[in-house]
Amino acid sequence: MVRVTLPDGSTRAFEQPEVPVSDVVQLLGERAKGDTVGVLFGGQLRDVYQTVAGEGTLRPLKDDDEQSLYLLRHTASHVLAHAVQELFPDAKFAIGPPIDEGFYYDFDVEKPFTPEDLARIETRVHELLKKDLPIHREVWDKARAREHFAKLGQRYKLDLIDDIPGDTVSIYTVGNFVDLCAGPHIDSSRRIKHVKLLSTAGAYWRGDSKQPMLQRIYATAFFKKSDLDAYLDRLAEAEKRDHRRLGKALDLFDVKDEAGGGLVFWHPKGAIVREQMEQYLKQEYRTRGYQLVFTPHIAKADLWKTSGHLTYYRDNMFMMDVEGQEYVVKPMNCPGHILIYKRKLYSYRELPVRIAEMGTVYRRELSGALHGLLRVRGFTQDDAHIFCAPEQLPSEVDHALDFALSLLQRFGFDRFAVELSVRDPANPGKYAGTDEEWTMAESALEDAVKRRGLAYKRMEGEAVFYGPKIDVKVIDAIGRPWQLSTIQFDFNLPRRFDVNYVASGGERRPVFMVHRALFGSIERFMGILTEHYAGAFPTWLSPVQCVVLPVSAEALPFAERVRLALAERGVRVEMDAREEKIGYRVRDAEVHKVPYMAVVGEREAKEGVVAVRARGKGMVGTKPLEAFVTEIVDEVAAGR
């Protein structure tokens, strides 16, 4: 039997194991039915071509619901593939999923798509959409599906069929394009009106460099033209802020082909920004009661067998043989911190113990997944592990969350969204730890978020097996969310490593362990920070805080005095005395986003003043040298 609770609270029962969603939608009435583009049933997204089973509450989705964009974009990806099928009959089709802000489809074609190809494809997409393409869903047995796609030479579909459990697969037909697809899709292609093809890129099949290179077309779709226009404006702004472009233009950082993908080189100016980040964090560590440590970059594989990482993540690790003993280049810092904690047996009176490290780790990411500083193979985590007694959990979560918010605000982020990942209540047996421990941990996390009035989303079933977590997302200057800080409980590793403390009664008890990262990684945070500020870092973070510009050779002695006065007060200052016109040198400082310029000529030298130019403001007046120096020093001290 299927039992459906409708939006008005009434229930309907069906005397069969599965019911088509289209039949359930009929219960909503003509007007509601016409507005429905898909449904949530029991919290699961479904289209009108699928079925529902069991019991659940039905929530019809309109085009202004966030989940409806997923349906719209999924179907738009099939229309894109339809257009490519017509224009490039020999194309082989891989996958075409919706993603956060659009969708893509991967194709195997003889030659990479050109900008002209993209324009032709987009024109054909819009022509197809005017036809209101019919959409059908069928369930085929695997033998039929293999025969169909083998006849068409679609090798990637055959690979995918082999990965799908069971004896059947679902097939969606949009217009004349037949695809292996789990769904869900929009109820009608007539709703798809505002589609834009954005770019092409190479992408290895399954992200594996040993597999064929495919051509990926990125695109997006919206229900309203105004939403599409706003998105394209944001995209243009994001392109100007791309940290990869700015990293090179401002001489901050780069990834060198000679060294390999995903390995970051910090240039002198970028190293200054990194140094400021680390100095601030380390001072906060000491103030907040953390103990700083260093752990080796490699360790015997046995350590990672104990932790369980070798069993589950071996393919993501760099391995090496040392005199017949297998070693691992460390992919995470947790086991090292546990070994340091275990050097002695702590009493409950000595807890909590907060161990922190700026620990560089290495992960064997596929080359197709690498992306500037945001996805790399070598990165430094601001990693900390808190070892505490159960009764200390609420205060330690408060402590960690306060630290996270304080740090993010210091670096200029003031809008946050929080996700609370908890276990699936229907499957408690798949998680490490007891029911009591999970209840305590989830409550500690949720209460901490609520106390601060933060908007948060409770993510049922999204916790990993070893514990619940808080993920803090920041909203950047152009409205993009970025996941940064994490506070994660771990009921698994303390038991694997037999990590204990002595309780008040003298007995040994398992310690509670909390993973905590605030930047996430230095590299990724730097990439996000660069884009947030468009390279124009606040004065306290800027690699060069002031450049001194002598107008003439006669002004050089005073210019040096200005430079020295700033340097002696800790200001990062440079002199630009090149034999170029002053306008050229001013423009160069503006291009490099220097916060202040001190322009000095013979008059300024005679009067002991500087003509000050400020970034984004131009000339702001003439100031006595000491007053100007104090102004910058105060600004830096205030974190501006």
Q: Is the pLDDT of residue 431 over 80?
A: yes
Q: Going by C-beta distance under 8 Å and a sequence separation of 6 or more, which residues neighbour residue 543?
A: 250, 252, 268, 269, 270, 272, 273, 537, 572
pLDDT per position as a tens digit, 303-316: 999 998 888 889 89
DSSP 9: S
Query: How open is the CA angle 561-562-568, to the nearest 5 degrees?
Result: 85
Q: Catalytic: 606? A: no
pTM above threshold 0.75: yes
Q: Is the pLDDT higher at 366 or at 229?
A: 229
541 φ/ψ angles, rounded to the nearest 5 degrees: -100, -15
pLDDT per position as a tens digit, 6-17: 888 888 888 888
What is the architecture, at CATH level 2, of domain 68-240? 2-Layer Sandwich (3.30)
- Specify whether the CB–CB gap between 213 and 230 falls below 8 A: no
Given the residues 74, 469, 563, 585, select the one marked as catalytic.
469
Lowest mean pLDDT among 52-61, 126-135, 610-619: 52-61
Please provide the average confidence, as pLDDT, over all residues in the chain. 93
The predicted pLDDT at position 312 comes to 81
CA-closest candidate to residue 269, choices 578, 537, 631: 537
54 φ/ψ angles, rounded to the nearest 5 degrees: 75, -150
Q: Is the pLDDT of residue 428 over 70?
A: yes
Residue 235 to residue 245: CA distance in whole angstroms? 15
Lowest mean pLDDT among 85-89, 235-239, 424-428, 509-513: 424-428
The tokens describing 383, both together, are: 């990693």
Instruction: Please tell me the number of Cα atoms within 13 Å of 193 on its side-chain side.
Output: 9
How far, in Å, are 158, 346, 393, 515 from residue 349 at the CA level? 61, 8, 15, 21
Confidence grade of residue 31 (pLDDT, cut at 50, 70, 90): low
Element (H, E) at 325: strand 325-329
Q: Catalytic: 383? A: yes
Domains of the chain, residue spans = 2-62, 68-240, 255-295+330-532, 546-637
Q: Is the pLDDT higher at 373 or at 368?
A: 373
Q: Going by C-beta distance under 8 Å and a sequence separation of 6 or more, which residues neighbour residue 541?
A: 273, 276, 277, 411, 529
pLDDT per position as a tens digit, 556-614: 999 999 999 999 999 999 999 999 999 999 999 999 999 999 999 999 999 999 999 99
Residue 231 to residue 137: CA distance in whole angstroms? 31
Q: Is the pLDDT of residue 639 over 80?
A: yes
Q: Is the pLDDT of residue 327 over 80?
A: yes
Q: Which residue has the tokens 């990411």?
A: 365
* Beta-carbon count within 10 A of 574 CB: 17
- Specify whether the CB–CB gap between 267 and 253 falls below 8 A: yes
What is the percent of the chain with per-residue pLDDT over 90, rounded to a whole number? 76
Confidence grade of residue 55 (pLDDT, cut at 50, 70, 90): confident
CA-closest candidate to residue 214, choices 226, 206, 222, 224: 206
Looking only at the bridges linking them, the beta strands covering 456-460 and 298-300 are unpaired
Given the residues 47, 106, 179, 383, select the one marked as catalytic.
383
Fold of 546-637: Rossmann fold (3.40.50)
CA-closest candidate to residue 9, choices 54, 48, 59: 59
Given the residues 50, 154, 381, 392, select the one marked as catalytic.
381
pLDDT per position as a tens digit, 197-223: 999 988 889 887 788 999 999 999 999
Given the residues 78, 191, 385, 572, select the one marked as catalytic.
385
The predicted pLDDT at position 576 comes to 96
The predicted pLDDT at position 561 comes to 97
Sheet architecture: strand order including 469-475? 291-292, 353-362, 378-388, 512-517, 481-490, 469-475, 416-422, 456-460
Q: Is the pLDDT of residue 32 over 70?
A: no
The tokens describing 499, both together, are: 């990590």
Residue 212 to residue 397: CA distance in whole angstroms? 46
CA-closest candidate to residue 329, choices 304, 292, 350: 304
Instruction: Please tell me the number of Cα atoms within 13 Å of 450 on its side-chain side.
Output: 8
Q: Catalytic: 159? A: no
Tell me, rounded to whole angstroms, the distance of Cα 211 from its chain centroid.
26
Show contacts of 155-159: CB within 8 Å, 24+ apart: 155/92, 156/92, 156/93, 156/94, 156/95, 156/108, 156/205, 157/93, 159/205
The predicted pLDDT at position 354 comes to 97
3-state SS class at 634: helix
Residue 345 to residue 355: CA distance in whole angstroms? 15
Per CATH, domain 255-295+330-532 is 3.50.50.60: no
CA-closest candidate to residue 243, choices 611, 547, 533: 533
Given the residues 82, 117, 124, 334, select the one marked as catalytic.
334
Q: One-letter amino acid identity for 135?
A: I
The predicted pLDDT at position 72 comes to 94
Q: Catalytic: 385? A: yes
The predicted pLDDT at position 73 comes to 95
pLDDT per position as a tens digit, 98-156: 998 899 999 999 999 999 999 999 999 999 999 889 999 999 999 999 999 999 999 99
Residue 503 to residue 517: CA distance in whole angstroms? 28
The predicted pLDDT at position 435 comes to 86
Tell me, rounded to whole angstroms, the distance of Cα 234 from its chain centroid.
17
Residue 348 to residue 238: CA distance in whole angstroms? 50
Given the residues 46, 399, 515, 592, select the one marked as catalytic.
515
Q: Catalytic: 309? A: no
Residue 517 to residue 452: CA distance in whole angstroms? 19
CATH of domain 2-62: 3.10.20.30
pLDDT per position as a tens digit, 535-558: 999 999 999 999 999 999 999 999
pLDDT per position as a tens digit, 63-104: 888 889 999 999 999 999 999 999 999 999 999 999 988 999
Residue 411 to residue 640: CA distance in whole angstroms? 9
User: What are 196's strand-pairing partners?
Assistant: 220
- What is the arithmetic mean of pLDDT over 456-461? 90
Given the residues 185, 241, 309, 363, select the one marked as catalytic.
363
